[in-house]
Every structure is written in structure tokens, then in C-alpha cells.
Structure 1
Amino acid sequence: MYPDKHTKLVDDSIKQRDLFKSDQEPFIGASRPGFVYMDSMGFGMGSSCLQITMQTKNIEEARYLYDSLAPLSPIMLSSTAAAPIFKGHLVNQDVRWNVVSGAVDDRTFIERGVEEYPGYNKFGGLDVDEHTLVKDCSKTNANGDIIGVFANDGKPIQHVPKSRYDSVANYLADSKHDTSYYSDKFNDLNAPINKSVYDRLIQEPNFDHYMANHFAHLFIRDPLVIFSERIDQDNTLENDHFENIQSTNWQTLRFKPPALYESNVDISTTPGWRVEFRPMEIQLTDFENAAYSTFISLLSKAIIKFKPNFYIPLSKVEENMGTAHKVDSAINDKFWFKDLDNWNLDYHEFRGYDLSWFDRYINIGNDELGGEEVYMNGYSVSGSTISLANGELNGAIPNGTVNGNTTNGKRRKSSNGMIITDDAEDLTYAKYSIDQIINGDVSGKFPGLIRLVIKLIATDLIPKSCHCPSTSLANDLTRIKYYLTLISKRAKGEIPTTAHWLRNKVLNHHQYKRDSKVTDFINYDIISDAIKVGDLSDRDVVESLFGEVITDYLFE
């Protein structure tokens, strides 16, 4: 619960009843003081979210994109924060993630490593003798099996650190891609696996250790639902048995293989290797949802094109997921991220690809600022000219030679453009604000994610011309500019996240009693204002969420 002057530590919405055995759970330990008690899957899966799926050209590219997006998951969760109210209570967090995670958590007490409620079985529905003694649930082997504890059929019982709905537990490794940034030190969560599944997959020629490990981790859980008419299948043409597991592991990312088809189907017209990005919160308006959807789609293309190195230990990503839940974490907190000097990008190549690029491309005359030559695809730089054709620095050191020494063709660039060989593997990471990660820094030394997207647009997605050749393209680019402006301004704290906006509606409401309660009357007024934002029917209300610049665009 959000702590306020008159907040009660007990969720008084819990009613005593005796219809089911589970009715007693909140009174014997399930409900914690100071927390909202939500005893139904609907409280989690009733939340809305924004999920975007990107298709890549092959499995190697999909693995690299999956791994690159993993560290971005908590960043975008925080940036899109929109859930500060649950079950009529103002809560002390801004996002939905842990609510859904808890609502579909089907682990038994022993799998979670916690004490069971009075009168309950430690093993839940597992086929284990209830008198089995467990000395220490934390002692596990390399597969996650609790040492010395087995079901009656001999299968091991595992310690399972996460719910079905949680952040990713493994990188897929990019060693088969041409980046090869991955190191085993980054996969540091020691996620449990189904050893029998791993042993079977590792025998297949298309599965290396990392892919086998990824899928073997999914299979530590049972299917939630099995339809009787789908038990017997032709596994050469149907993969429902796999999807039954895959689709009920709800992680921040989902690695989606192609489906199976008959031999006469042209698979070039069917979905291929895809990566689904799942952490973002749903927004109040179509404009916002389109903005974040477009951003992730274009950012994925930019990642594939420019090949940045975003690898950090997954334990740090996990820590970031906790940080993302905090109130106003988007502007108040810092997140672990790849050191901005080690993205394997030369910041010179991204100078000029800020939000002003749109005006310079769309409007004739805006490409000259203060008498200095300013190009469509980047600025001129003293000592070197950025090529109009592709925005790359002329005279860049050719692949294969560094200071006269032969290399293996793989190189890294620091932010100052210096070429670094791969002799010493870089594992650096540090804490940064979301503003730094998304917008870069004011000097342009660190490009930030938005510059990657804008350079992609400028060099890959529009006609190569001095200025915008058509009104329709100008309108499309203008809309994308304001999409990115929304994301940029929220990262800077210049406009609020939806969660901040909603929380302030409660805190400043004349009927709020500083008790963390959102009454029917307060709720009605919030929904009324949300409708005004969606309908663009009240400029003052719209501007309170979007600020003046974006509101002017929306009201044009």
C-alpha cells in the first residue's frame, strides 16, 4: 500500500467467509500487513499490457535481438509505468508486473522455498509422501534439484526461483551471429532446468548448449491446460504440445520459433523466427501505444543494423526489474546498463541524428543553423566530414587493420571513436538514468537509443534526397517525431508517466482522505479525465499528461 498519514496496515476489503478452504488463507498468513491482498488470477491477467513481436531473417539474428532486448525490458517497464492503483488502493509502486507474476504463480511451498500455511501440505499437489523430511530447501544441484528430495516416482523436486510470469532467466548467446559479444559470465542466474529435456535436445544438431538450456528451463513446469481433443497429434505438422508450455511461460521476452507446415506450403510467406517484447504497460491513448510500439519496432531494426553491445549480467537485469517497480523510478532511479562507453558504437556516427533531424529533412531551409553546414544525415565534424550517403565517418579505419596490425575482423569502438581489439573482453556496466539511456548526454558523446532509431530512419527507411519528397512522407515523419518526443520527454521527466499522472489525480482529489483508498467517487473522476484525454475533449486535462508541445500537435 502507498503509505500515507491515515493508511491502515490491514486490507479491510478482505471479508470473512467459509465457503471454500482457501477462504481462510488471508487469515493464516497469505495476507501481509501493509499490502493489498488479491486472491484471484483475474487481478493479474485482468491487467492490460503492450506486447510487440518482431520478426528477424534467421535464428542467429533472433538470438542476438532477444539478448539485446533483455536489458532493455526493465527500462521500458519503468518508462511506460501506468499502474499505481489496485483493488481500490493506491499502491507503493507504479507497474503491474509483480501483480501478474504473483497472480499466476503455481509453485508449491517447497518449490518457492517458504514455510507452508498451518494445515497445508509443503509439497502441494506433488506426488510426494507428506512425511518426507526436508532439511534445507536451499541446497540444490546444478540443475536446480533439491538435494535428497524426490517424488514417489523418483523424479527430483526443484527449487524454482521465479513464477511462470517473470523476467527472462537465460541469454540465448550471440556466438553464431557476427557480433559475438556474449560471455558465460552474463548468464549468472543459475536457472533450473529439466535435465531429461536438456539431454534430449543437446543430441539434436540444431541445439547448442544455450538453446537447449533455454527450452529445458521452460519445461520445468507442467502444462496448465490440456484439451482432450488435442492430446493425440501429428508432431511433424503440429506443435501444440510445445506451445502449451511455451505460451504459459510469460516472461519479459518470448523467443518464438516458426510453426510447422506441410511440405507444399511456401514458408517464405509464413512467420519465421520472432522475438516478442512483453514488459511495456498499456497507455491511455492510441497515440501513446502507437508511440511505444513504433519505438520498439524501429529500435529492434536499429539494433540489428548497428549491432550495439548491451550485454550485462542477468542478475543486474533482475535487480533493475525491482527498481522499475518503484514510484517514479523513470526519473528518480538509476538502472544497471552496459557502460555507455562500451556499446561498440562510435558516437561521431550518430551526431546530428537527434529530434531536430526531422525538421531539417522535412522543411527546406532548416538545414542551415548559425551559418554552419548541417547535413540531412548528420553534422559536419571538424577534421572529418560525415558522408551524406550513409552518415559514416569518411576515412574510418578499414576492417582488418588497426594501427598497422592485422586483426581477426572483430573490433570494438569506444565512444571517442577509438578502435579496440577483442584481446581484452569488456564486461563493464554501471548505473544510469533512463534519460541517459534513451536520450544520451547533452554533449552527444553517448548517442542514446533515440539517436539509433533516428539514424536508422534517415539512412534506411526514407528516400535518399536533400529534402522530404512528399507530403504523405512528411506527415508520417512528423508523427514519428512526436512519438519519439513523447518517449524523450518522459525519460527527462518533462512530462509525467501515466502512473505519476494517475497517482496525482488521487493525491490531489478533494475527497481523498490520505488513507490510500481510491473511492468510487475518486475512481469516477479519474475515469472521466482518462476519457477526456482519449477523446481530446479537454485541452487542459490533455496538457496535464502530455505537456504543451505534444498537446499542440494532437489538437492540430
Structure 2
Amino acid sequence: MGLLSLGTPLPWKEVEKYASHVREHGITQFLHIWNNTKDKKGNILLWGDEVEYMVVSYDDEKKNALLSLRQAQILHDLEENEIKQRKIEDAEGVEPNQRIPTFHPEYGRYMLEATPGYPYTASFDDLLNVERNMERRRTIAIANLLPNEFPVTLASYPRLGAPGQFTDPYYPPTGPASRSFFLPDELINPHARFPTLTANIRERRGSKVAINVPIFKDEKTPSPFIDPTIPVDRDLYPEDANAKDGAALADHIYMDSMGFGMGCCCLQITFQATDIDEARRLYDQLAPLSPIFLALTAASPAWRGYLSDQDCRWNVIAGSVDDRTEEERGLKPLQKNRFVIPKSRYDSIDCYISRGAEYREEYNDIELVKDDEIKKMLTDAGVDDALANHYAHLFIRDPIVVFSELVNQDDANSSDHFENIQSTNWQTMRFKPPPPGSGIGWRVEFRSMEIQITDFENAAFAIFIVLLTRVILSYKLNFYLPISKVDENMKVAHYRDAVLNEKFYFRKDVFAREESHSEEVPVEEEYRLMTMSEIINGKKGDGEEFPGLVPLVQSYLDRMSIDVDTRCRLNAYMELISKRASGELCTAASWMRGFIRGHEAYKFDSVVSAEINYDLVKMVEKLTKGEEWDGVGASLLGGLAGGR
């Protein structure tokens, strides 16, 4: 979560008046950054991760695990502790990688975000510090919680929006911002940005968001499944008619608020590249990996008190912030709006931005909706066509939140209007220019992964992605796929047990060529469907050999001068990912689904009761503390975490 602006947020009808102003000045601000930094070279690799937590409050007497809404008090206490610790660190000259972590607010009042106190470098010492740093963050958080509270790393909360009490304290559902059937507005971070974002998305869209996730059909699940908990007789707001008019689909779990998506937790990694060209290359090469790691980190099997027939959160978040009008969704002819827009503003990327020798125009194979005026501004200022297309596409969107005090800015020294559009295009990858006046370089953010239950798992995926970036640059790897195939992979990644049961499009030969491609080789021959194990662990024989991502990383490590202890610890992380891809270890989603279905109170009707949820969250806490790694958690961790 970026810096939260202070000021007076405007309602949508006022924001709409300033949309063109924000876009035009946002591009002007980008051009100032571009002109000042496009030729900057020599930045060192720095990187960091973002871990998001849900703070649960246990009611042990009633066997209920509730979401604690004490975020403001918790963050206040954490900030005071950080200020004191920083003074001590400054006085003692503490090394950067030992600095106290930093905590940040998030959308839900039960959420915390934590980042390292200082960016990591590419050193192996820093890689080995990641898990310890994540453990330290959780320990610090726990020290600032009540005795009955605990910070779990769950991607989605199984009973968020379910009937009965799911927050502490309790608030009845609905409120003027979300108008939800299921969630109270009190669940939203009270900072003016968040309820305004919620209300303005709804108002711009012209209706509440409508999210439908397929129900998992168990032995006693009604068929067709018609959710009896939807209050179809409610008549508080005009949007209440939506459920009656078909917004809620049969055989689906229906959700109607931004909180269901932005109330999820994830693991994100940001890299600083040596220069803009390297950043663009990493953006392109990591993009096809986004659905692969979404599937590998799948951790969201339950929604609103029901088991779903999918394992990931991504499409729920996409639906939760889908502010497109009926015209933009292609349901009505364009009259008031400018474009038909195929995707939500939270989705997978729509175009590549690098133009190295391995790039082919055929890879950008979906129609890119662009603002031609924005593109002309960019190209007239000397921005190349590829990057101009990227920003002309992002800037088809309207700003959602505008603060009245920030309408007029110094474009040479501010990036607020630019970030207003840039940071509300929540895509699988984000290309991040340097902030004005900073020493920060061009950065790339990898955004698709779901948060994992344990710090060991989160460290493993963070470290593996970092090592992959080193391999991509060292071996000049080429992961290009047509964007349409990346989109298909994103859909497949959501499927239940996709890691085991599905295949993904992936490039057959990942070693880039220095020379340009021969037009005689059709793009369709460059990729094929592969199992997850083939992609991660490789394949030999049958004329379809593939090296595998883990063996490629291991080959890279073989070239480094690494002591035995370091290599063993890194190998434990590699082994987790390898075994998850092969199916020897299960995903968090599969583990949770199995726990729920194996619970003595489960009635095989797809319902996740408060009692089941309580025991699940308690077990998640035990796994987090390392108390069940060799027992209940064996199928998830295989004892690997205990060996570090």
C-alpha cells in the first residue's frame, strides 16, 4: 500500500469532472520523470517483499475466530515501537538488513502489511535473512496484539460475509459506501481514501460489483445451489434489486462488495533494476510466470462461509474493483463512455513493453484499447511506441479518488496524478518509474502470488522469484508467450487443484537468441501445454525436453561461490517449490479444503461453519508457530521448514 494522501476526497460526480485533468497532468508528470531518469544507469539490485496479515480475535468460549477491527490502535502502537527502535538503531549503527520492519495500513480494518525495514540486496546473506525477517515481523505484530489475537497469513478469510458474527466488534452488514448485503462499512479502513474508493467504484459502475464464484458441489450440496443467505427481500438501496435481477447466479457464491477482494492478502515482490531497459525486460519475462505462481501459491478455497470450486483469489479481486459501466463492459452501445474495455482494472497485463531481439509483434496478440491522445503526448515527447502503448492503455481508466487539495500540482516535482492512475491499475505486473527527486531506480513489481500460511513458505517463494530474476538476466532466458495464452493460463490457475490436474501454456525453448526471429517459425510452434511439474522440475525424453525452473536456478547456484550451509538452506526452499509442483506436497488451498472436509462437524454440504473455521484458524496458528509441521502440516510442508 502506497503513501496515503491527506485531504478531502471528492464524490464520484466531482471526480468525473477532473478525470481528463488528472490523466493529462499524470502523463505530464511521467514525462518529467522520464526525461530526468530514462538514461540513468548503474543502480544496484535492491528488492523487497510485502507480507499481508489478517488479525484474528478468538472467542474460545463460543469457538469462533473473528476478524479484529483494531487496526488503527495496533498500527499506532507499532509505529511508536518503530520510532523508539529506529533511534536505538541509529545510535548503534545497526546494519541495514537488521533494521526493524515497517508496518502499513491496508484496506480492511483487520489487515496489516509489513515490509523489511530496508531493501534487500542480491547477496546470499540477505536471501538467508528473509525468513528471519518475516518471523521478526510476525513476532513484533504479536507483541502489539491482545492475548486472544493472532496475525494469520490467510489469502482469503473463509467466513468473511457469512451469516452471524465474523468481526470483533460486531457490526450489522451494509453501509452507505458499499451498500453490501453481507459486509459492514465498519470493516473498511476509515482513512478517507478507502470508503471513498469503495463508494466511487460503485457509483461509477452504476451498480454494486457482482462477484460469482462457483460452489464446490459436495455429496449433500443442493443442486441447483441457490444461496439462502442472500437477503433478496431487503430494500434499503436501489442496488438491492441486483440480486433479484440476476446478479447472483445459481450454483455460485455471490459477493457484492470491494471488501471481498481488497480484503484478501497476498505476497508481492518489488525489484529495482540497474536501468530502465533491464526493468522492461524483467517486466516482460516475469509476466508469463504470473499465472504459474498464482497456481503454485493457491490458498483461497472458501468464500462467505462456503467451499468454492476454485482455489485462488485473483478473479474475486478483479470483480471487487470492476468499475466499468455497462457501456464499457459491452452490454450497451457506447454513448457516454469512450471505450469498450475487456477487463477489470485489476487483472493480468495486456501488453509487453520491452523490444529486445527475442520479442515478436505476434506476442502482443490481443487488441489493446488505448487513449490516442495520451499516446500522442507520449510519442511527441520522445517515448518509444512500446512504452507509449503501455501508458496509453493504463490511462484509459478514470481516477477513482481525487482529493480537492491535490487537484492542482507542480507537475515537475509531483507524481500524485500519475500514481492516481498507475496505482489503481492493479495488474499481475507493475512497471514503476522512480519517484521525483529520489535516488530510487526503475522498478518492477511481481503481484500475482497468494500469501502462504507459514513464514517458511512465503520466504521460499520470495527467494525463488528473486533467484529467477538473476537467472533470467544471467542466462538471457526467454519466457515470451502470446498475451492471449497468458490470459488463458490465468483462468486455468484458478481451477481446483490446477497444479495437479491442469496444463499450462509455456515456452518450449527458453534460451533467448541474440539474432532476430526467423519469420519462417510460426509463433504457435514456440510453446506447448505443460504440466506444472514439467514447468518447475523439467522433463526429459519423448522429444519434448524442458530444463525446468528449479533446475535452472540450481544450475545458476552451481556457478556461484556458496558455502555448504547456505546452499543447503536454499535447497530447502527449492525443494518446497519442486515438491508442490510435483504434487508430493499440496497447495494451501488443497490443504485447507481437506481440513474442512475432514472436520467432524462438516456435513458435506459445502458449508464452512463457525466451528470449522475456528478449528481451521487455530490449526493455521499452530502451523505458523511450527507446532504441527510434522503432524497435520506434513502434507503442506513435508518437514522441510523444521530443517532450516
Q: Structure 1 residues 225 and 157 mapped into 2: Cα distance closer, same or farther (>3 Å)?
A: same
Supply the AA of the counterpart residue of 1:11. Answer: D
1:76, CA displacement in angstroms?
0.5
Amino acid at match of 2:252: F
> What TM-score does the superposition give when structure 2 sets the normalisation length?
0.63
Report SS of the residue matched to 2:229: coil
Return closer, same or farther for 1:198/1:411 CA change in 2, 3 Å cut-off. closer
Does the alignment pair 1:46 with 2:144?
no
Amino acid at match of 1:74: P
Deviation sequence 1:490-545 (CA, Å, 0-9, x none): 00000100000000111122221111110011111111111111111133122132
Name 2:592's counterpart in structure 1: 502
Are residue 431 (structure 1) and residue 557 (structure 2) matched? no
Match of 1:25 in 2: 242
After TM superposition, give the deviation of residue 476 of structure 1 in Å. Answer: 3.3
Matches within 5 A, 1:183-202: 183-202=360-379
Structure 1 distance, partners of 2:322, 2:351, is 19
Measured in 1, the distance between the counterparts of 2:408 and 2:296 equals: 45
1:93 aligns with 2:310: yes
Structure 2 counterpart of 1:2: 216
User: Identity of counterpart residues, as a percentage?
Assistant: 45
Q: Letter of the 2:570 partner, please give it.
A: I
Q: Using a 3 Å threshold, how does the CA distance of structure 1 residues 313 and 72 change in structure 2: closer, same or farther?
A: same
- Aligned equivalents of 1:433 and 1:183: distance in 2? 25
Between the aligned partners of 2:519 and 2:604, the Cα distance in structure 1 is 59
Partner of 2:398: 222
Distance 1:478 1:230 in 2: 52
Runs of 4+ in 1 over 3 A off after TM superposition: 421-426, 442-445
**In angstroms, what is the RMSD of aligned CA positions?**
1.9
Contact persistence 2:311–2:496 (CA under 8 A): yes
> TM-score of the superposition, structure 1-length normalised?
0.73
From the superposition, tell whether residues 442 and 533 of structure 1 become closer, same or farther in structure 2 (CA, over 3 Å): farther
SS in 1 for 2:252: coil
Contact 2:259 2:320 in 1 (8 A): yes
**2:23 alignment counterpart:** none
Gaps of 5+ in 1: 115-121, 123-133, 135-148, 262-266, 346-408, 413-420, 469-473
Any residues of structure 2 matched to 1:211-290 within 5 Å, and which? Answer: 211-261=387-437, 270-290=439-459
Query: In structure 1, how many angstroms separate the alpha carbons of the residues matched to 2:519 and 2:241?
Result: 61
Say whether the 8 Å CA contact 2:626–2:642 is kept in structure 1: no
Counterpart in 2 of 1:396? none
Give 1:80's match in structure 2, choosing from 292, 297, 319.
297
**Residue aligning to 1:543:** 634
Deviation string, structure 1 residues 270-317 (Cα, Å, up to 9, x no partner): 221111000000000111001101111110111011111111111011
Partner of 1:359: none
Q: CA 1:336–1:423 in 2, change beyond 3 Å: closer, same or farther?
A: closer
Q: Give 5+ residue unaligned stretches, structure 2.
A: 1-214
User: SS of the residue aligned with 1:95?
Assistant: coil
The offset of 1:423, in angstroms, is 7.2
Q: For 1:274 and 1:27, locate their aligned partners in 2 and report how far apart those are by CA, in whole Å.
A: 46
Partner of 1:410: 514
What's 2:230 paired with? 14
Is residue 329 from structure 1 mapped to residue 545 from structure 2 by the alignment? no
Determine the C-alpha separation between the residues in 2 that align with 1:425 and 1:172. 22
Partners of 1:506 and 1:216 in 2: CA distance: 46
Q: State the match for 2:350 in structure 1.
A: 169
Say whether the 8 Å CA contact 2:269–2:446 is kept in structure 1: yes
Residue identity opposite 2:495 in structure 1:
K
- Secondary structure of 2:405's counterpart equals helix
CA contact 2:287–2:428 (8 Å) conserved in 1:
yes
Pick the structure with greater CA Rg. 1
CA deviation profile, 1:9-36 (whole Å, cap 9, x unmatched): 1122212322111122111111111111
Is contact 2:355-2:386 (8 Å) kept? Answer: no
SS at 1:302's partner residue?
Answer: helix
Q: How does 1:131-530 map to 2 (within 5 A)?
A: 134=333, 149-151=334-336, 157-175=338-356, 180-205=357-382, 207-261=383-437, 270-339=439-508, 342-344=509-511, 410-411=514-515, 424-425=520-521, 427=523, 428-441=526-539, 445-460=545-560, 462=561, 468=563, 474-530=564-620
> Secondary structure at 1:112's aligned position in 2?
coil
Find the partner of 1:63 among 280, 284, 289: 280
Matched-pair contact (CA < 8 Å) for 1:410–1:422: no
Whether the 8 Å contact between 1:532 and 1:542 is mirrored in structure 2 is: no
1:499 counterpart SS class: helix
The CA deviation at 1:174 is 2.6
Counterpart CA distance in 1 for 2:255 and 2:335 is 32
Measure the CA separation in 1 of the matches of 2:528 and 2:635.
34
Kept in 2: contact 1:542–1:551 (CA 8 A): no
Q: Distance in 2 between matches of 1:65 and 1:5?
A: 46
* Paired residues, number: 422
In the aligned structure 2, how far is the partner of 1:98 from the partner of 1:165?
Answer: 9
Opposite residue 168 of structure 1, the aligned amino acid is I
Separation in 2, partners of 1:27, 1:196: 41
